[in-house]
Chains A and B, each alone.
Chain A
């Protein structure tokens, strides 16, 4: 091995690859990563060509229900080509590690957002009820979310029936307004949401079994203690 350094030598490559050292190392990309050598289009590093501008997918908001009896809360976003794919990607991104019992997604542009309030002001007081027209057309269900503190997440508080988003905010003000100041309100038409069906809920049943992702599984204390005592008695490592 020689003195420890970061210089990539043929010796180190052999050492690092071990038994799978059967590839030839392309001179331009003298890599230790076996995957790099499996990549068929590598060789000379190509010029860095800017990406095509059309690749960017749409944006979707993700909501997760952590426990039975707890409300859904906003967790973040994913980019996806459609609602169904957004659901799949959201499951990977947001429910991979922490136990949860349900999740749903909605396209960001279908989320209606109230103004953000300042200080102790309630965001519901910023809604202009005068200018809203009522009962125009068929009523449909809207899900309502509150932000109770800056820096925290939007939390689902209930649903209302309304014929358009502004009416939904006014309905929510009457039915769901809280004693404490609400900083920001979201309203989402229920039928725009991709929900988890009851039969899909077993998606998350295996989460508690994945012990190899649990910090509790990596207690090295006993081994360390044994080593330290051993060292005190026989200082063979000095």
Chain B
């Protein structure tokens, strides 16, 4: 699990006033009652559009996120770590499959989503535009990026769209192994040699800014998300998710004797909220718009994979079966 819960594009909350007020009220009443929305139900255009974006970008994050970890499968220390990492990366790609299916129920075919990803039209989680230099970088992703994604997704599983919730249920169930595996890898580095400790400390220092960016821009500058919260598309604000992550994982990082590269980081015992140096949101924007160290490579690798697989798809293609929108 690598992404989820974030919409990386600007939100234009317009068009809602053009919806049929009676249908809109029935739709909102259903959500207030805690019932799930199913694909054949009436829904406002904005709901459909934002859900497609969110689920699609989540799915994109899963397949792109498999790249920086996937590159370490052959170099993971020992056979058991190789087996585990291979299984984990395969799971993540499987998660992309489940998520694309959920987005498809809203009317966007999968091929179109892959096309938009490769052509740079749709986003994925910014954190994967950075490289994994060492095994410790890979462990950082396995433990902490996954942990961040889980914080987002445990919230989203309570959202309103049935197919997305069902996909997340499956995904969360598979995640228990990933998180334990990631923590296990980091414990081994932390309790290992000075060089191993140094490797993880350096990874932590490198990845802290991207990790703080992971939950999206601060609520102070974030786009208007009230309507998405009301419709249970988004289940928590970016700052809430970030705070929850810090609350759960900073003590675990400190416990291992590592230093986080933010002198201001501490928990306010009065409010229960974490205090930290405001992440550099200009840098976030620069990277998400193509300026990161790996943006080009990530899309290029996907494009090459598509091109190299094309002859297989064309050889298998049969005119007897046709694409239809999935049922649930």
Which residues from chain A sit less than 8 Å from chain B, CB to CB? 1, 4-8, 12, 15-16, 18, 29, 31-36, 39, 41-42, 45-46, 48, 50-59, 61, 74-82, 85, 92-93, 96-98, 107-109, 111, 113, 116, 150-154, 184, 186, 210, 212-215, 217-220, 223-224, 226-228, 231, 237-238
Contacts and interface: CB of A to CB of B under 8 A. Distances in A.
B177 A77 contact: no
Interface residues of B, dominant DSSP: helix
- Sort A-B residue pairs by CB-CB distance and give the 7 closest, nearest first: A58-B321, A151-B36, A218-B180, A220-B187, A4-B202, A218-B184, A56-B111
B243 to A, nearest CB: 25
21 contacts: A4-B201, A4-B202, A6-B130, A31-B294, A50-B119, A51-B118, A57-B323, A58-B322, A59-B326, A75-B170, A77-B101, A78-B97, A81-B321, A150-B37, A150-B38, A151-B35, A218-B183, A220-B184, A220-B187, A226-B191, A227-B187
B296 to A, nearest CB: 6
Contacts of B263: none
B303 A48 contact: yes
B328 A74 contact: yes
Nearest to B90: A96
Interface string B196-234: 010001110110000000000000000000000000000
Given A12-B133, A237-B197, A58 B323 contact: yes
Nearest to B177: A215
B239 interface: no
Nearest to A111: B327
Interface string B54-84: 0000000000000110110011000010011
Interface in B249-297: 255-257, 293-294, 296-297
B25 interface: no
A228 B255 contact: yes
B300 A55 contact: no
Contacts of A214: 177
A101 B293 CA distance: 46
Contacts, number: 205
A32 B131 contact: yes
B94 interface: yes
A154 B120 contact: no
Contact of A57 (B41, B297, B313): B313
A82 B115 contact: no
B327 A220 contact: no
B166 interface: yes
A51 B322 contact: no
B307 interface: yes
B317 to A, nearest CB: 6
B98 interface: yes
Contact of B120 (A33, A48, A52, A210): A48
Contacts of B203: 4
Given A45-B296, A57-B317, A212-B83, A218 B111 contact: no
Contacts of B321: 57-58, 80-82, 107
